[in-house]
Amino acid sequence: MPLPSRVEAIVSSIVIVHPREIPALLHSSLCFFFVLSAYFVILPLRDEGAISLGLGNLPSLFVGSLLLTLIAAPLTTTIFSVPNISKGRALVFIHRFFSISLLLFFVSWHASSRERSGPSSEVSASYTTPSEENSNLSAVEDKINPSSGWGNHGLLYVSVRVLLFLWVALMNLITVSSTWARVIDIMDNESGSRLFGFIGAGATFGQLFGSLFAAGMAWLGPYLLLFSALLMELAAQSAKGIYFENGQESEELSLIRDETSAVHVEANEIETPRSKASSSNSQESMVKPHMCVILEGLYLIMKSAYLRYVSTFLGLSAVISSFFYFQVYFLWKKVTIIASSTASSLGRRKLFAEINSLIAVFILVGQLTLTARILTFAGVTTAICAAPVVAFSNLIVIAIWPTWIAVAVSEILRKVNTYVVTRPGRELLFTVVSEEEKYKAKICIDVIVQRLGDATAAGMFKLLFGTLKESVSMISLAILPFCVIWFCIAFHLGQRQSHLAKVLSGSIT
Which pLDDT value is given to residue 276? 39
Which pLDDT value is given to residue 259? 46
Which pLDDT value is given to residue 230? 96
Which pLDDT value is given to residue 358? 76
Phi, then psi, of 269 in degrees rounded to 5: -125, 110
* pLDDT at 111 exceeding the cut of 70: yes
Of 172-176, 210-214, 305-309, which range is least confident?
A: 210-214
Which pLDDT value is given to residue 131? 33
pLDDT tens across 368-403, in order? Answer: 888 888 888 888 999 999 999 999 998 888 888 877
Closest CA to 43 of 172, 153, 145, 173: 172
* pLDDT at 366 exceeding the cut of 70: yes
Which pLDDT value is given to residue 251? 43
* pLDDT at 476 exceeding the cut of 80: no
Query: Per mean pLDDT, which of 112-126, 147-161, 189-203, 205-219 is the most reliable?
Result: 189-203
Look up residue 351 and give its amino acid: L
Which pLDDT value is given to residue 489? 96
Burial class (CB in 10 A: 0-12, 13-18, 19+), 155: exposed
pLDDT interval class at 456 (50, 70, 90): confident
The C-alpha atoms of residue 176 and residue 423 are separated, in whole angstroms, by: 11
Of 281-285, 320-324, 451-455, which range is least confident?
A: 281-285
pLDDT, greater one: 339 or 447:
447
In CATH terms, the superfamily for domain 18-241+283-505 is MFS general substrate transporter like domains (1.20.1250.20)
Q: At what angle do helices 189-216 and 224-239 cross, to 10 degrees?
A: 160
* CA–CA distances in Å: residue 310 to residues 313, 433, 472, 504: 5, 11, 30, 19
Q: Read off the pLDDT of each residue in 111-123 and give the average, rounded to a whole number.
A: 53
Look up residue 163 and give its amino acid: L
* pLDDT at 120 exceeding the cut of 70: no
Which pLDDT value is given to residue 158? 78
* pLDDT at 225 exceeding the cut of 90: yes
Task: State what percent of residues in the chain have pLDDT above 90.
Answer: 23
pLDDT tens across 40-75, in order? Answer: 898 878 877 766 665 555 556 666 777 787 778 778
- Can you give the pTM of this predicted structure? 0.72
pLDDT tens across 288-322, in order? Answer: 444 455 577 788 888 899 999 999 999 999 888 87
Of 159-163, 166-170, 447-451, 491-495, which range is least confident?
A: 447-451
Let me know: does 277 contact 262? Beta carbons within 8 Å: yes
Residue 390 neighbours by CB under 8 Å, 6+ apart: 413, 414, 417
Which pLDDT value is given to residue 103? 94
Average pLDDT, the chain: 75
pLDDT, greater one: 464 or 182:
182
* pLDDT at 333 exceeding the cut of 60: no
Which pLDDT value is given to residue 59? 59
Residue 60 neighbours by CB under 8 Å, 6+ apart: none
Look up residue 416 and give its amino acid: V
The CA radius of gyration of the chain, in Å to the nearest whole number, is 23
The C-alpha atoms of residue 460 and residue 454 are separated, in whole angstroms, by: 10
DSSP 330-378: IIIIIIIIIHHH--SHHHHHHHHHHHHHHHHHHHHHHIIIIIHHIIIII
Return the domain boundaries, the chain: 18-241+283-505
* pLDDT at 33 exceeding the cut of 90: yes
The C-alpha atoms of residue 473 and residue 470 are separated, in whole angstroms, by: 9
Q: Read off the pLDDT of each residue in 136-141 and give the average, rounded to a whole number.
A: 38
pLDDT tens across 258-269, in order? Answer: 444 444 444 333
* pLDDT at 34 exceeding the cut of 80: yes
Which pLDDT value is given to residue 62? 65
Let me know: does 194 contact 16? Beta carbons within 8 Å: yes
pLDDT, greater one: 425 or 249:
425
The C-alpha atoms of residue 51 and residue 161 are separated, in whole angstroms, by: 10
